[in-house]
Amino acid sequence: MSTHPWWADDAVAAKVQEPFRSDGEFWTSLAASADALLTLVAAAGVCAALAVSGVGGWALLPFVVPAAFTTRAWLVSRRSSRHSQAVFEDRRSWREAERSAVAAGFIRVLGHRHHDRRG
């Protein structure tokens, strides 16, 4: 029995080019970014409900969770970037390729459950 990472699924990674396609840290960063976006929406709703109930400064507390996901995404993406930059001739070509990879993968990651599957 082998471990099959969720991001290796062709339905998720099909349109993402190498070296990003096989980079687990790239996918972890995208997943943390997607989680940040989803929890940001939820935090805004909770914040509004808390503000209406009159709890004052506590209404900002729900934003701690998306901030944590954003921080995780940033830290992991920095590690991933260091590895993938070496494949490209210059920073500009790397940045363009990374933007294309993020654009190709983010929506798929947003709608995908982030867990390892056993295959």
- Structural domain for 62, as ranges: 20-112
pLDDT given at position 118:
37
Classify residue 117: in a domain, yes or no: no
| Total structural domains within the chain | 1
Judged against a pLDDT cut of 80, whether residue 2 lies above it is answered with no
The model carries a pTM of 0.80
Question: Residue 117's beta-bridge partner residues?
Answer: 4
Classify residue 119: in a domain, yes or no: no
Residue 3, helix vs strand vs coil: strand
User: For residue range 50-75, what is the model confidence (pLDDT) as tens digits?
Assistant: 888 887 778 888 999 999 999 999 99
H/E run at residue 118: strand 117-118
Classify residue 39: in a domain, yes or no: yes
Average pLDDT over residues 92-100: 94
Two tokens, residue 95: 């940045």
